[in-house]
A and B are shown apart, each in its own frame.
Chain A
Amino acid sequence: QQQVKQSPQSLIVQKGGISIINCAYENTAFDYFPWYQQFPGKGPALLIAIRPDVSEKKEGRFTISFNKSAKQFSLHIMDSQPGDSATYFCAALYNFNKFYFGSGTKLNVKP
């Protein structure tokens, strides 16, 4: 059973555009929601994260929007750049210990 559902599977955005990736979860016991960026052949790197008591968090061009009642959260990348081309994973943390990852979104930012 997929604990965290992520969409879309792939995304093509023009340089300067907004990239939006969505995730949904079922378990209300999740208490931390990070987004990771992964380049080919590399491990995931933490991009930005949010706790469920906050509805939005912004760090530079990256924003997480969190809707607790809908059990959904999304990543917005403003002014997308070719260097942002990577695979992005959402995740949810259970009991401060176990991460459940979404299936990933491959982002391609066209120059």
Chain B
Amino acid sequence: GAVVSQHPSWVICKSGTSVKIECRSLDFQATTMFWYRQFPKQSLMLMATSNEGSKATYEQGVEKDKFLINHASLTLSTLTVTSAHPEDSSFYICSARDPGLATETQYFGPGTRLLVL
């Protein structure tokens, strides 16, 4: 199956700093990518939908100024957690949709674990 990578796989940062997480589709061009957050022992919650060349669509309750999403190319979307605080510590997972396949097919990345001290 298609591969989606994330970088870094884990990151520790100090409170108040910004952290950038990259999501790449390795063997297909993803016009749409999705960002999820997963707290320990909980389900995945969709944060935003990232569309190449246009603004991201954020889910209700997600601060767009805090979680900046950029989808500048067909293979790369980035999530920047600005002024991170301990409550932002979580597992962040992206997924990408291959436009060449059925529209429901999404491939998930391996996730990025963020710990804010």
Contact = CB atoms under 8 A, between A and B. Distances in A.
A98 B43 contact: no
Given A32-B104, A96-B103, A96-B104, A101 B113 contact: no
B109 A101 contact: no
Interface in A18-34: 31-32, 34
A99 B110 contact: no
- In this complex, which of A31, A49, A89, A101 has the most chain B Cβ atoms within 10 angstroms of its Cβ? A101
Interface of B: 1, 4, 6, 32, 34, 41-46, 49, 93, 95, 103-111, 113
A104 B42 contact: yes
Interface residues on A, range: 20 to 34
Chain B contact surface mostly: strand
B44 A89 contact: yes
Nearest to A34: B104
B111 A103 contact: no
A43 B43 contact: no
A42 B106 contact: no
